Amino acid sequence: MDVLTKEQRRKNMQAIRSTGTKAELLLSKRLWSLGFRYRKNDRTVLGKPDLTFKRLKIAIFVDSEYFHGRNWDTNKHRIKTNSEFWWKKIESNIDRDIKVNDELKANGWSVLRFWDTQVKSNLTECIDIIERKLNEWKKVD
């Protein structure tokens, strides 16, 4: 049984963003201030990555821990309301993420995935990982 009314639940669900999340904005603003230029949510790239360095073939995703199933085997049992629906949805998100990664890598892309809490709590480390990947490409060029 849901502890919220239908109207409260609807408002909560409407507030969930697929693009422009706090973690995504934090990462993108820092990269921009460091002089890196990218495209946001490029629909022409499979999986519509949050940030794309298209010429370098680098796709960056900032994933929500809940909707993308971080530590899914241990956390899935915490879902008490409508668990059958959420388990199916989150497991399909996990499968889709794996397929997108595999397809992008098969087409020569480098894929970087960060958890939203990882970006929020340790932005410098995430930026360092991205800078290393960008520098790898420059060395090859």
pLDDT in tens, 65-115: 887 888 888 888 887 777 888 889 889 999 999 999 999 999 999 999 999
Neighbours of 114 (CB within 10 A): 22
- Give the pLDDT of residue 98: 96
Helices (H) and strands (E) in the chain, counts: 6, 4
Which tens digit of pLDDT belongs to each residue from 5-41?
878 767 766 666 666 688 999 999 999 999 999 999 9
Q: Which position has the token pair 């497991």?
A: 91
- Tell me the CATH number for domain 6-140: 3.40.960.10
The H or E element spanning position 45 is: none
Q: Cβ(114)–Cβ(60) under 8 Å?
A: yes
Nearest to 110 by CA among 101, 98, 97: 101
Asked whether 78 and 40 are in contact (CB, 8 A), the reply is: no
Q: In sequence order, which residues have a C-beta less than 8 Å from that of residue 18 and are 6 or more positions away?
A: none
pLDDT at 141 over 60: no
What is the structure's pLDDT at 78? 82
Q: Name beta bridge partners: 58.
A: 53, 110
The domain spans of the chain are: 6-140
